[in-house]
Amino acid sequence: MMTSTLTLTFVSLLIITTFIRIWLGSRQINHVLNHRSSVPSAFVEDIPLEAHQKAADYSSAKTKLGLAEIVVQALLLAALTIGGGLQWIDDSWRNILVDQEIIRGALVICTALFVSSLIDLPFEYYKIFTIDGKFGFNKMTLNMFFTDLVKHSLVGLVLGAPILFVALWLMQSTGEYWWFYLWIVWSVFNILMLAVYPTFIAPLFNKFTPLADEALKTRIESLLTKCGFKSQGLFVMDGSARSNHGNAYFTGFGSSKRVVFFDTLLSRLNTDEIEAVLAHELGHFKHNHVVKRIIMMFGISLLGLALLGWLINQAWFYQGLGVTTPSHYMALILFLLVSPVFLFLIRPLMASYSRKNEFEADDYAAKHADANHLVKALVKLYRDNASTLTPDSLHSAFYDSHPPASIRISKLAAYTTD
Which residues would be at the binding site for Zn ion (CB under 5 A)? 358, 361
Residue 234 or 282 having the CB closest to Zn ion:
282
Strand order in the sheet with 208-210: 208-210, 234-237, 258-262, 248-251
Taking the C-alpha atoms of residue 237 and residue 130, their distance in angstroms, rounded to an integer, is 25
CB of 357 to Zn ion, least distance (A): 7
Closer CB to Zn ion, 266 or 361, in the complex: 361
In whole angstroms, what is the distance from residue 347 CA to residue 338 CA? Answer: 15
Could you say which DSSP state residue 131 is in?
I
**Identity of the residue, 132 or 358, whose beta carbon is nearer to Zn ion in the bound complex:** 358
Residue 368 · residue 227 · CB < 8 Å: yes
The least distance separating Zn ion from the CB of residue 365, rounded to whole angstroms, comes to: 9
Q: CA angle, 386 as apex, 132 and 126 as ends, to 5°?
A: 20
- In whole angstroms, give the CA distance from residue 27 to residue 23: 6
Measured CA to CA, the distance from residue 357 to residue 225 in angstroms comes to 23
**Residue 369 C-beta: closest distance to Zn ion, Å:** 14
DSSP 138: B
Q: Cβ closer to Zn ion: 57 or 358?
A: 358
Minimal distance, residue 231 CB to Zn ion, in Å: 17
Question: Least Å distance between CB 283 and Zn ion?
Answer: 7
Closest to 406 measured CA to CA, from 371, 373, 385, 378: 378
Nearest Cα neighbor of 329 from 180, 185, 164, 173 is 164
CB of 279 to Zn ion, least distance (A): 11
- State which residue, 179 or 250, has the beta carbon closest to Zn ion: 250
Smallest gap from Cβ 196 to Zn ion, in A, equals 24
Minimum distance from residue 249 beta carbon to Zn ion (Å): 9
Residue closer to Zn ion (CB basis): 105 or 403: 403
Nearest distance, CB of residue 287 and Zn ion, angstroms: 10
Beta carbons within 8 Å of 164's beta carbon, 6+ residues apart: 106, 109, 110
What whole-number distance in Å separates Cα of residue 234 and Cα of residue 32? 37
Rg (C-alpha) for the chain, rounded Å, is 24
Q: CB 194 → Zn ion: shortest distance, Å?
A: 18
Note whether 401 and 358 are within 8 A (CB).
yes
Choose between 139 and 245: whose C-beta lies nearer to Zn ion: 245
Q: Which residues, including other chains, have CB under 8 Å from residue 53's CB and lie 6 or more apart?
A: 36
Residue 403 Cβ vs Zn ion, minimum distance, rounded to whole Å? 10
Q: Which residues contact 260 (CB under 8 A, 6 or more apart)?
A: 198, 208, 235, 236, 237, 248, 249, 250, 251
* Residue 221 vs 360, nearer CB to Zn ion: 360
Report the residue number, 32 or 361, with the smaller CB distance to Zn ion. 361
Nearer CB in complex with Zn ion: 128/361:
361
Is 57 or 281 the residue whose CB approaches Zn ion more closely? Answer: 281
Q: Write b or e for each residue in 140-171: b if 16 or more Cβ atoms lie within 10 A of its Cβ, otherwise e.
A: beeeebeeeeeeeeeeeeebeeeebebbbbbb
DSSP annotation of 1: -
Strands 248-251 and 258-262, sheet pairing: antiparallel
Q: Residue 408 is which amino acid? A: R
